[in-house]
Structure 1
Amino acid sequence: MTRVTYATAQKMRAAISHKYGHDHGRGTQPWLEDSLRPGHFRGNPSLSVTVSQYMISLGRRKVRAGEVVTSARAIDEQTMKELYEHNINFVDDDLGPTSKKRKAEAPQNWAGSTTRLMLQLMFNTAMLVLLRFEEVLRITWKDVQFEQCQPRRVRLMLPFRKTHQYGGIVPFYLYENREKPWMCPVCLWAAWWCRCRELNIDVNGCVFWKKKWAEMESVPTADSFLECFRNNLLDIGIDPRPYGTHSFRRGGCQYLAMVLRWPLRQICTWGGWAENFDNPGTIFKYLLSWNDAPLLQREDYFNPNRAGSDPCTNCGRTCSCA
């Protein structure tokens, strides 16, 4: 019998912490003895020093036993660009249904242009808004508002967030980015809305379809989405095995920190991480992982002749310190 992993233990503790914190009103404070009432404790029992020490010890024992905790590899901007160029320029060779036989004969035709456009929008939205997969699926058209300003923007009001199950979700404003169309949510949202209208699809329900028709095959499920995502990576010659549904949330966090150079507090506020920063290790798990593709070769850290980065859109600098 396979023993449970350390990740499973973390999820169990998180569930217990949520139960005590929300259902029993214990909050997120550590479990401590009340100095004014000896023998009485306050706070969340799951966040006690004893439980924390046990989890640290358990993690060490799991590592010594050979278990390696691996996060899904983060998606980077270059991969997003390659996916965008492949999906947007994809031309259907047959407007009929994509049968299993046709897929077997031509694996590259695992999906048509409509599916690929929808997937590209899901990729872009999940990455820029730091969404979990189940949060993307719950978006409906009434949650999306196109606002005519300069530059154009989309107002996204999510109906559900794992970290805000009792309401209080603030809107997300996504702006047009003409210089980088692969990172432009406004263009993708507009293109998907137009495609739905062209196909006479109701634009009052879910944004991402769950119904079968033509070459669409119930994409909005965890397993089918992951299969489509990995097929898409194979299209552009990337090994899909290190990637998962969480790759966009991790990749978005790294994109905001290392490309747009947002401070950590701004990333946490945008992504909906805990405002009291009671678990600062979470944000660093998204920023750092041995499984991520290296941004810089080891010999180039102090290399004065290393290639510059893309020009800054504000100052035009290409040096690494820009």
Structure 2
Amino acid sequence: MFSREFGRGVQPWMENLLLPGKFIGNPSLSVVVSQYMTSLRRRRVRAGEIVASARAIDETTLKAIYDSDSSVCPDIYQVVSRRAQKTGKEWAGKSIRAMLFLFYILSFLCLLRSDETLRIKWEWIECDTDATGNPRIKLSLPFRKTHQTGGIAPFWLYGNPKKPWLCPVRALSNWMLCNGNVPTGYVFRSKQSAKTFSLRGDKMMSSASFMECFRRHLLEVGIDPRPYGTHSFRRGGCQYLAMVLRWPIRNICSWGGWADSFDNPGTIFKYLLSLSDSPSVQREDYFNPNRSKCDPCGECGRTCWCA
């Protein structure tokens, strides 16, 4: 707003040395304003305000995005106007969508923070097969927010042909096909236009660029993007493991990298339940004998909610 609408540029806000008492630059880049905004969230919590977490992404939303991307034609280089990019599906081509969906899957299944996913490099990913020939991916992160010096257990992800919208092997293959050259450097590249990305391995996609693409993805499938944020995938993955795959809480903590001592159980509880999440069951349906069935279990085929 200050930069474009008011023409204040991108220089820091400071006093004019030639005219004492007069200030020049961009007020939003003031050190005082930055310090105020940094501590604002903490002071609001201390004042008793309840801070709502970002709404968790769910499997249904990922499936809707997957189906929407499947209808997009392969990339053919052509000039796309900015007006066209703001409407319809012209904001991203097939390759950009493949890269974004791999981001969604890895963040969702591995319970990663957005900055951890953005910094993934190709040399951290290994592809092989298990003893039965099922393709799998090994993701080895050298550091995380809670493990700054390493010692992180790798993530093993397997193919899921029954649910392609949750198949990390398919998502990785699609992005590698769009990548074209030998993959090196960062997996998630800087977006240059609707259908092109940076070919340089040292050009990582920024968090702001990712959030813009994520919001456009949600709008495309008819979902209001305002309640969602960069933490939506980590929270959604936690709820998916607990309520859909029915993992024990201990396994979720071990997989996601939470402390084994369980000295802060409120952390995992905040991921499983939040005021911003939509209720999964209507109040009148908890004991409804005619309640609609759930998706069939891949092992026993049962569709009842008590499975």
Mapped pair 1:288 → 2:273: yes
TM-score by length of 2: 0.81
Cα deviations by residue, 1:92-135 (Å, 9 ceiling, x for unpaired): 5852244424324x343111111111101100110000000111
Q: CA deviation at 1:88?
A: 2.9
Paired letter, 1:290: L
The alignment yields a C-alpha RMSD, in angstroms, of 2.2
SS of 1:178's equivalent?
Answer: coil
Question: Which residue of 2 is the match for residue 276 of structure 1?
Answer: 261
Which one of 95, 100, 103 corresponds to residue 122 of structure 1? 103
Q: CA deviation at 1:192?
A: 1.2
Aligned partners of 1:81, 1:70: CA distance in 2, in Å?
25
Alignment of 1:49-68 (within 5 A): 59=45, 62-63=47-48, 67-68=49-50
Cα deviations by residue, 1:266-306 (Å, 9 ceiling, x for unpaired): 00000001121111100000000121111100100111111
- Name the CA shift for 1:157/1:97 in 2 (closer, same or farther; >3 Å): farther
| Structure richer in helix, relative to its length | 1
Mapped pair 1:71 → 2:53: yes
Question: Which residue of 1 is the match for residue 90 of structure 2?
Answer: 109
- Name the CA shift for 1:217/1:62 in 2 (closer, same or farther; >3 Å): farther
Aligned partners of 1:217, 1:241: CA distance in 2, in Å?
26
- Name the CA shift for 1:136/1:98 in 2 (closer, same or farther; >3 Å): farther
Cα deviations by residue, 1:124-166 (Å, 9 ceiling, x for unpaired): 1100000001111111111111112332101111132111101
Contact 1:138-1:160 at 8 Å conserved across structures? no
Percent identical across equivalent pairs? 53
SS of 1:109's equivalent?
Answer: coil
Question: Which residue of 1 is the match for residue 8 of structure 2?
Answer: none
Aligned partners of 2:141, 2:156: CA distance in 1, in Å?
11
Aligned partners of 1:117, 1:212: CA distance in 2, in Å?
15
Paired letter, 2:61: T
Q: CA deviation at 1:315?
A: 1.1
Question: Which residue of 1 is the match for residue 238 of structure 2?
Answer: 253
Contact 1:87-1:116 at 8 Å conserved across structures? yes
- Name the CA shift for 1:227/1:217 in 2 (closer, same or farther; >3 Å): farther
SS of 1:153's equivalent?
Answer: strand
SS of 1:145's equivalent?
Answer: strand
- Name the CA shift for 1:321/1:5 in 2 (closer, same or farther; >3 Å): farther
Paired letter, 1:301: Y
Aligned partners of 1:250, 1:311: CA distance in 2, in Å?
24
Aligned partners of 1:234, 1:309: CA distance in 2, in Å?
26
Structure 1: stretches of 5+ with no match in the other structure: 10-57
Paired letter, 2:184: N
Cα deviations by residue, 1:16-48 (Å, 9 ceiling, x for unpaired): xxxxxxxxxxxxxxxxxxxxxxxxxxxxxxxxx
- Name the CA shift for 1:319/1:193 in 2 (closer, same or farther; >3 Å): same
Aligned partners of 2:194, 2:183: CA distance in 1, in Å?
18
Question: Which residue of 2 is the match for residue 40 of structure 1?
Answer: none
Contact 1:74-1:243 at 8 Å conserved across structures? yes
Contact 2:93-2:194 at 8 Å conserved across structures? no
Q: CA deviation at 1:212?
A: 2.9
Paired letter, 1:282: T
Q: CA deviation at 1:8?
A: 2.9
Mapped pair 1:168 → 2:151: yes
SS of 1:146's equivalent?
Answer: strand
Mapped pair 1:318 → 2:303: yes
Which one of 196, 206, 209 corresponds to residue 216 of structure 1? 196
Mapped pair 1:207 → 2:206: no
- Name the CA shift for 1:5/1:146 in 2 (closer, same or farther; >3 Å): same
Paired letter, 1:74: A
Contact 2:137-2:157 at 8 Å conserved across structures? yes
Name the count of aligned residue pairs.
Answer: 266
TM-score by length of 1: 0.77
Q: CA deviation at 1:214?
A: 6.6
Aligned partners of 1:129, 1:3: CA distance in 2, in Å?
31
Paired letter, 2:92: A
Alignment of 1:79-118 (within 5 A): 79-92=61-74, 94-104=76-86, 106-118=87-99
Q: CA deviation at 1:244?
A: 0.5
Paired letter, 1:158: L
Structure 2: stretches of 5+ with no match in the other structure: 1-32, 199-203
Question: Which residue of 2 is the match for residue 51 of structure 1?
Answer: none
Which one of 282, 293, 300 corresponds to residue 285 of structure 2? 300
Contact 1:87-1:120 at 8 Å conserved across structures? no
